[in-house]
Structure 1
Amino acid sequence: MKHLDKPTAAKGPFEQTRRSFLKGSAALAATGLVLDGARSPARAFAYEPYYTDDELETVVTSCAHNCGSRHMLVAHKKGDVIVRLSTDTGEYQGDARGTDTEEKPQLRACLRGRSYRARLYSAERLLYPMKRVGKRGEGKFKRISWDQALSEIAERMVYIRDKYGPQALVDQSYAGASYGVLHKSDQIEGLLGRFLGMFGCRTSSWSVPSYQGTTFSSRITFGTIEDGNEDDAFAHSKLIIMWGWNPAYTFHGGNTFYYMRLAKQRGCKFVLVDPQYTDSAAAYDAWWIPIRPNTDAAMMAGMAYHIWDNDWHDQEFIDRFVQGMDEGTMPDWAKGQESFKDYILGKSDGQPKTPEWASEICGVPAEDIKKLAEMYATTKPAALKASWAPGRNAYGEQYNRMAAALQAMTGNIGILGGCAEGVGKGWHAEAVAYPYDQWANVWYASIKSDRWAHIVLNYPNVTREEAGLWPRNDQWDGVVPNIRGIFWQGSDWFNQLTNINKEIAAIRKLEAEGDKESLFVCMDSTITPTGIWADYLLPIATHFERHDVALPWYKGHYYIHRPKVIEPMGESKTDFQVFTELAYRLGFGPAYNPRATRDYFWNPDPVDEAYLKAWWEEKVMHHQHVTWSWEEFKKRGVYKFVFDEPHVAFRDQIEKGVPFQTPSGKIEIFSTTLAQITDWTKTQYGYPIPAIPKWIEPWESLNSPKTEKFPFHMVSPHPRWRTHSIFNNIPWLRETFSQELTMNASDAKKLGIRTGDTVEVYNDRGTCVVPVYVTERCMPGVVVLHEGAWMDLAEDGTDRSGNPDFLTLDEPSPAGAFAYNTVLCDVRKTDRAHRPGWDQLATARSAVFRRDY
């Protein structure tokens, strides 16, 4: 095939010279000897002191991950080595050092970002293209050239597409490690989606693990996921209800704690509804309301009943802005159908959703439900921050829709100090610097992300409902993909999706059919648990080693210039370089990267600069009226927008009468879209979803008969010391926090368990081994195990690292919510060894990947 031949122009560079290899090796060696140059006498020191600031070059950049923000990092480097990292001091936009105001706060990095040097120079750093030589999952790889890696991947791609069709390769990109305006990995706007779409073989994923139930709710209710205020609005709240939200661990904005502290100082009251008493509750002296996991919608229904029963609702707001809240706001075409008030009062099913009814389900005393309902309905303005975690459950969308109903019936939407979140996306950034045209999101199938293993194991006997297959208007409508491979880009999906043992079974099934019949490619800067299962590991440059601009994460109104701080280590390349070279080999290189020529793989800097400069001038300066030139922005390093007033979602709808982006132009508590679906099997949902928010019993809960066998409900929130699985191998962070199972003291006493004991956490789907922490800060019957630990398999399939996703279930929740927190399990003391992470095994593990098999 002619388009797979090595290009003449690129032949020399692919056969790297000895000089370039030694140069790269010397750069790598420098990471172990950062103190070069002139040396002072040792005197009383057994080691050489750090360089002083005047001996180092300072470069403004940012973190790159989805920790709930994306803050400034300042790299201090000597030559081509980063010696240390600091953060925003308020001076880089041209203000005085120490500037930190409500209108222009500092963008201070958290402990994860500040530890990044340990990740950059870790023993797990992937430096060269690697090819699997053992079984998948065995961890045996050999180093190969880029030419060999890309040639073999391209050949395998063509073979799989031609034999198994345009749905055979799955795009599992995500924004974990490659997110900027140019180097972007996500499902919608990402580089991988564009590449596989233009190649003509792509199955996408329509469901986002973190918040798909919430996304569904926001789009159905408001018509958009941009339902969030900027965090400065919190400073104006009189009451903040943190429902399943722990901003000490997951910020949901760049300066969340700063503004919430201002609110506290101004007299705001705080409430936490959560199975666990969190650090955030302690910081704000919040009223803690422990609740059984997965029962949030029932408690909210009880609050709605009490608000109506006492006439505390805002009827004027409801009549003007809401569809389907009560009989009077039902659309003409739906007269006689069930309104939300009909459901709450029990007119349609004979069961009033009283606080007493809710209490039996959620375990919260009825008097507490009534008290919270009164506080929320009578305190103005009040912010009900319905976080994502309670939506990561079976039927999790009902919790978010119920929260939206409470927000609407109290008139707390579109006002300063109120809250409509939801997804919580605030200010709209200009997010794409590379070509984004009709090719950008081409897919031939789109499935629910965690159903890929089910499809592989049961193909072809899989229904479209089981797959969560998105409808199409062509010959591929309803055609379940014959999945033969996955591209993992900027993600650790294999470690992070539900029911990991099912994923292992699926990849083993494909492996048994022969190497040629499937393809798994992992593109990352670090050797991850997902990479262990790949056929090819491609070393991707970190955000310190490529040119880009950082975007804020869902909230925050700023851009941070992200220059190439150091040259890429080893043979690392950017995602854009890799996809461009593959596109040339597959015949569509100029179309994929129109600013580049074939030498982009070896010299990307001028092209990247051209894309970023055009983005700044044509989008930021033109659409957002920024007067700084591109050169000025690069010189300063950060541009912070200053608003005349806090950004409040839906302010224009409430104050100016702008229609909501829904079919009715109103907040749809009764959904026009859902009410008009006649064949649910022909939708991506597959199964019926009620037109109004309702309480639906999940598959597993503390109210289930399954508790006779598995008496504990496990939840797996985000840890403070990782971003999902990122940073799990950083010794600095592991010295601060450990993976452990949190258990209530009364439950531990019954089992004879004490803090520090090692336990097995298990159910019918899997087992993991982890130490236990006994406390009163977790309600009885509930255990907490933070997500993201890097799996470490024993021979019997037991995970020894404490990864909760060996116990999670991958069943399809209709609206796409991932049931990470819908897990019943049991706990028993064990003598088995817990293996807490790769940081303790780094030398041995890295040796495995450097060996020549």
Structure 2
Amino acid sequence: MTTRDTPMSKTPHFEELQQRLNLSRRSFLKTTAAGAGIAAAGGLVELKFGKEAQAFAYEPYPLDNQLETVVTSCAHNCGSRHMLVAHKWKDVIVRLSTDDGRYQRGGHFGKDGNEEPQLRACLRGRSYRQRLYSAERLLYPMLRVGERGEGKFKRVSWDEALTFITKKMVHLKNTYGPTSILDQSYAGASYGVLHKSDQIEGLLGRFLGMFGARTSSWSVPSYQATTTSSRWTFGTIRDGNEDDTFAESKLMIMWGWNPAYTFHGGNTFMYLRMAKQRGCKFVIIDPQYTDSASAYDAWWIPIKPNTDAAMMAGMAHHIFSNNLQDQEFIDKFCMGMDAGTMPKWAPDSANGRENFKDYILGKYDGEPKTPEWASRICGVPAKDIVKLADMYAKTKPAALKASWAPGRNAYGEQYSRMAAALQAMTGNIGKLGGCAEGVGKGWHAEAVAYPYDNYANIWFQSIKSDRWAHCVLNYPNVKREEIGLWPRQDDTDGQIPNIKGIFWQGSDWFNQLTNINKEIQAIKKLELVVCMDSTITPSGIWADVLLPVATHFERHDVALPWYKGHYYIHRPKVIEPMGESKTDFQIFTELAYRLGGDVFGKAYNPKANRDYFNVNDNVDEAYLREWWEGKVMHHQGVDMSWDDFKKYGVYKFKLDRPHVAFQDQIEKGVPFQTPSGKIEILSSELANIDDWTKTKYGYHIPSIPKWIEPWESLNSPKTKKHPFHLISPHPRWRTHSIFNNCAWLRETYEQEVTINAADAKKLGIKMGDIVELWNDRGKVVVPVYVTERCMPGVLVLHEGVWMDLDKNGVDRAGNPDFLTLDNPSPAGAFAYNTVLCNIQKTDLEHRPGWDKLSTSRAHIFRRDD
């Protein structure tokens, strides 16, 4: 780069540049002067060179009216699912746009509104083309040739890869029994109604169930705390309102929720903005001041991580002690909220069957859960707890949106249950503008187009997802409660699974589950690891077999809204599968034929024959048409034909009334789906368990919501060794680990650890320094970001970055799951955010994945001064 004092002739490579352009110094300077003139003239001055410049090396870039336009959607697991419009030239997608109102029946450019809002994609969805054509795209079947984890593979044929897998599967089943293969499918980027990777109802589970060798995982990493809480409390996980109801709220309490980064519905921000314009007050409880707090000018209440249930208990004490609760609502709809709502079968305080109000007031343990008591635990001033409790109890309607992040903690289920108790005691459940979520599932979508039968629910043992490594490393000396073994109604109950193989489908779990160093030890003991993905991921590097899976641009399917939103988006095959990619359904169908001939093959895929592995379009079309006509049109009253749906690309439902969870229970007396038919603050299930070791929970869980001290927190004596509490929220520029290799997104954000400015000053750390974070479980290296937007004592390191190990096992990329503990809560909540660690400047190498300057310039604009 030249400076004001550097002559042009002294700049590097000037002589080489002169020779290549065949210019004298005088003519070169004339040219640069002319360039300045061009800029001044708006670029209208024509320069004459020896040869005519050719703008395109091969052919002119096609104009928009020459491109074919195809409606499709994004596919990742981000908290929403939006429309993408692919603009293709021949068989290449050259750019992506999104919903502009015209791609629907009766649509036109610019059509938008509350009833049929546009489904506009975010920066992740719009960057999908780079992921599709990335250097890490997996195009051919591969077999490992080096040591596991070394990343050395050779290209093989599909026949060779599938033969290897089937021989290994038969060997594992015959040698180690029906628990020998672990199903680790997840939503990833394969989630549709036909080509579905899913922990609960996906293609892999049905395939392994039919094969007769499957250990499944029952705890969901994202939200198991609230899943169990909602089932205990409401009897269902469909506890969410549609997002348009947020516009009716007068108070929005965003507890650990940052929709600027992770949506929970397709148009969340639009409706929250409407609420703000109508005078809604916003409160955010979070260890960091988020972009959402800034966007809504929210009252930010910093809180010590993992202490949310204590603060909620303090709020409940203020409400009860000042008689601010909605007693009429409690008496009519709740069980166990107070002594008057206790069931006859549970005399008060007998066998731990307590009521919530008396626990809060201190009747049982002599410790009233006052705001002052809560303040000592959570670090929030008692006056702020009182103020928020007063606001929530007196403002109607008010929405307490209890997000999933605070539940990803030790005893996270208690946070979710405490939130439900607050929602109920203030009477904000089943009310427009109120909130009962929880899990947040809203409008019901018909989600399965492939054959879904009892085989999908067959498993021979089921464990907590993050305990597989513990099970493998300690087999057979494992207690059932250590791994959350699900009870069985046969003589195999209590059998510890002998896991010898793993299938990863739509799952980068090796990079994403807790305590990666423990996983590394365990995976070395396995005999078969299969990774099915469209991209070579960190999990794939540790696999034996890599199977290239077609992306959603390369197969026919339909996109579902993600927990929120009421629409379907058609997903045609936009381009032909790249390389030798196949769909998940094709792969499992072919494996079924190889393992069990026509009997297994036809049973798994009834509409297909053996040719499906090579030609699948007509079969997929048949399944999708049948699903649309038999389920969507018949069950949901849709009058748009399948052919019209394909033509328009999207179907947006118009609801008769805003979708409010439990509105019929409150307004029409429909019973809740709990054993009592009421909102169970006292859980019928938990209050009647005698032997906890025979349950999937393994350990005691209070029958009412309670504050339980976590195993690591800023209140722990462990802070003497590891003084900082690390949280790992979702990033804006990735969906978990998806898009980590997308340079466009890495230009906007960088993986870095956030620290409070006062803490940084004490440690002599400045913005941009390379630091190491460590505890007894591992060590990571990452740049540091210094700010006032994070409370003291807390570090923030976003989850999902692709790990990159040095020879000593130090992660140079900054993946927080080298520091997390694989010990889950009794109800299955992952303790991602229950982590103490230390931090210091380091000389260890940091590797962001590739050259920092060529991909991310964000740090250039972050200065110490």
User: Do the two structures share a fold, i.e. TM-score over 0.5?
Assistant: yes
Task: Give the match for residue 317 of structure 2.
Answer: 305
Where in structure 2 are the equivalents of 1:328-343 lying within 5 Å? 328-337=340-349, 338-343=354-359
Q: 1:582-640, CA deviations, whole angstroms, 9 ceiling, x for partnerless residues?
A: 00011110100000000000000000000000000000000001011100000000000
Task: Give the match for residue 388 of structure 1.
Answer: 404
Task: Give the match for residue 795 of structure 1.
Answer: 807
Task: Give the match for residue 563 of structure 1.
Answer: 572
Where in structure 2 are the equivalents of 1:224-263 lying within 5 Å? 224-263=236-275
C-alpha contact 1:729 1:838 (8 A) present in aligned 2: no
Task: Give the match for residue 70 of structure 1.
Answer: 81
User: C-alpha displacement at 1:46, in angstroms?
Assistant: 7.5
What is the one-letter code of the residue matched to 1:574? T
Q: 1:107-151, CA deviations, whole angstroms, 9 ceiling, x for partnerless residues?
A: 000000100000000000000000000001000000000001111
> For 1:762, what is the secondary structure of its paired residue?
strand
**Does residue 100 of structure 2 align to residue 84 of structure 1?**
no
Task: Give the match for residue 534 of structure 1.
Answer: 543
Task: Give the match for residue 171 of structure 1.
Answer: 183
**Using the alignment, how far apart are the partners of 2:404 and 2:684 within structure 1?**
24
Task: Give the match for residue 362 of structure 1.
Answer: 378
Task: Give the match for residue 57 of structure 1.
Answer: 68
**Using the alignment, how far apart are the partners of 1:553 and 1:590 within structure 2?**
31
> For 1:530, what is the secondary structure of its paired residue?
helix
Tell me which of 446, 466, 474 is aligned to 2:482.
466
**Using the alignment, how far apart are the partners of 2:423 and 2:652 within structure 1?**
30
**Does residue 520 of structure 2 align to residue 504 of structure 1?**
yes
> For 1:729, what is the secondary structure of its paired residue?
coil
> For 2:838, what is the secondary structure of its paired residue?
strand
What is the one-letter code of the residue matched to 1:385? K
Q: 1:406-435, CA deviations, whole angstroms, 9 ceiling, x for partnerless residues?
A: 000000000000000100000000000011
> For 2:414, what is the secondary structure of its paired residue?
helix
**Using the alignment, how far apart are the partners of 2:612 and 2:853 within structure 1?**
37
C-alpha contact 2:179 2:213 (8 A) present in aligned 1: yes
Cα 1:838–1:580 shift into 2, 3 Å: farther
Tell me which of 263, 271, 275 is aligned to 2:283.
271
Where in structure 2 are the equivalents of 1:395-434 lying within 5 Å? 395-434=411-450
**Does residue 712 of structure 2 align to residue 700 of structure 1?**
yes
Task: Give the match for residue 154 of structure 2.
Answer: 142
What is the one-letter code of the residue matched to 2:130? A
**Using the alignment, how far apart are the partners of 2:461 and 2:559 within structure 1?**
31
> For 1:774, what is the secondary structure of its paired residue?
strand
Q: Which runs of 5+ in 2 are unaligned?
A: 1-50, 856-865
**Using the alignment, how far apart are the partners of 1:210 and 1:459 within structure 2?**
27
C-alpha contact 2:500 2:525 (8 A) present in aligned 1: no
> For 1:406, what is the secondary structure of its paired residue?
helix
User: C-alpha displacement at 1:42, in angstroms?
Assistant: 8.0
What is the one-letter code of the residue matched to 1:787? E
C-alpha contact 2:251 2:392 (8 A) present in aligned 1: yes
Task: Give the match for residue 128 of structure 1.
Answer: 140
**Using the alignment, how far apart are the partners of 2:732 and 2:483 within structure 1?**
33
**Does residue 728 of structure 2 align to residue 716 of structure 1?**
yes
> For 2:771, what is the secondary structure of its paired residue?
strand
User: C-alpha displacement at 1:541, in angstroms?
Assistant: 0.1
Q: 1:710-755, CA deviations, whole angstroms, 9 ceiling, x for partnerless residues?
A: 0000000000000000000000000000000000000000000001
**Using the alignment, how far apart are the partners of 2:567 and 2:497 within structure 1?**
41
C-alpha contact 1:490 1:524 (8 A) present in aligned 2: yes
User: C-alpha displacement at 1:837, in angstroms?
Assistant: 2.2
> For 1:633, what is the secondary structure of its paired residue?
helix
Aligned length: 796
Task: Give the match for residue 514 of structure 1.
Answer: none
TM-score (norm 2): 0.91
Q: 1:660-715, CA deviations, whole angstroms, 9 ceiling, x for partnerless residues?
A: 00000000000000000000000000000000000000000000000000000000
What is the one-letter code of the residue matched to 1:551? L
User: C-alpha displacement at 1:97, in angstroms?
Assistant: 1.0
**Using the alignment, how far apart are the partners of 1:50 and 1:378 within structure 2?**
61
> For 1:453, what is the secondary structure of its paired residue?
helix
Cα 1:709–1:80 shift into 2, 3 Å: same
Q: 1:744-786, CA deviations, whole angstroms, 9 ceiling, x for partnerless residues?
A: 0000000000010000000000000000000000000000000
C-alpha contact 2:770 2:783 (8 A) present in aligned 1: yes
Task: Give the match for residue 859 of structure 2.
Answer: none
Task: Give the match for residue 682 of structure 1.
Answer: 694
Where in structure 2 are the equivalents of 1:785-824 lying within 5 Å? 785-824=797-836
Task: Give the match for residue 38 of structure 1.
Answer: none
Task: Give the match for residue 578 of structure 1.
Answer: 587
Cα 1:257–1:413 shift into 2, 3 Å: same
Task: Give the match for residue 555 of structure 2.
Answer: 546
What is the one-letter code of the residue matched to 2:274? L
Task: Give the match for residue 470 of structure 2.
Answer: 454
**Using the alignment, how far apart are the partners of 1:477 and 1:357 within structure 2?**
43
**Using the alignment, how far apart are the partners of 1:347 and 1:42 within structure 2?**
90
Where in structure 2 are the equivalents of 1:621-640 lying within 5 Å? 621-640=633-652
**Using the alignment, how far apart are the partners of 2:297 and 2:185 within structure 1?**
40
**Does residue 520 of structure 2 align to residue 520 of structure 1?**
no
> For 1:77, what is the secondary structure of its paired residue?
strand
C-alpha contact 1:685 1:816 (8 A) present in aligned 2: yes
**Using the alignment, how far apart are the partners of 2:331 and 2:53 within structure 1?**
79
Task: Give the match for residue 11 of structure 1.
Answer: none
**Using the alignment, how far apart are the partners of 1:729 and 1:806 within structure 2?**
20
User: C-alpha displacement at 1:89, in angstroms?
Assistant: 0.3
Q: Which structure has the bigger radius of gyration? A: 2
> For 2:525, what is the secondary structure of its paired residue?
helix
Where in structure 2 are the equivalents of 1:611-630 lying within 5 Å? 611-630=623-642
**Using the alignment, how far apart are the partners of 1:475 and 1:222 within structure 2?**
32
Task: Give the match for residue 37 of structure 2.
Answer: none
C-alpha contact 2:400 2:435 (8 A) present in aligned 1: yes
**Using the alignment, how far apart are the partners of 2:348 and 2:257 within structure 1?**
38
User: C-alpha displacement at 1:467, in angstroms?
Assistant: 1.0
> For 2:511, what is the secondary structure of its paired residue?
helix
What is the one-letter code of the residue matched to 1:531? G
Cα 1:347–1:138 shift into 2, 3 Å: same
C-alpha contact 1:123 1:842 (8 A) present in aligned 2: no
**Using the alignment, how far apart are the partners of 1:399 and 1:803 within structure 2?**
26
What is the one-letter code of the residue matched to 1:652? D
C-alpha contact 2:751 2:798 (8 A) present in aligned 1: yes
User: C-alpha displacement at 1:51, in angstroms?
Assistant: 2.8
**Using the alignment, how far apart are the partners of 1:505 and 1:643 within structure 2?**
52
> For 1:84, what is the secondary structure of its paired residue?
strand
Tell me which of 671, 683, 693 is aligned to 2:683.
671
User: C-alpha displacement at 1:49, in angstroms?
Assistant: 6.8
User: C-alpha displacement at 1:841, in angstroms?
Assistant: 13
User: C-alpha displacement at 1:177, in angstroms?
Assistant: 1.2
**Using the alignment, how far apart are the partners of 2:745 and 2:347 within structure 1?**
58
Task: Give the match for residue 234 of structure 2.
Answer: 222
> For 1:220, what is the secondary structure of its paired residue?
helix
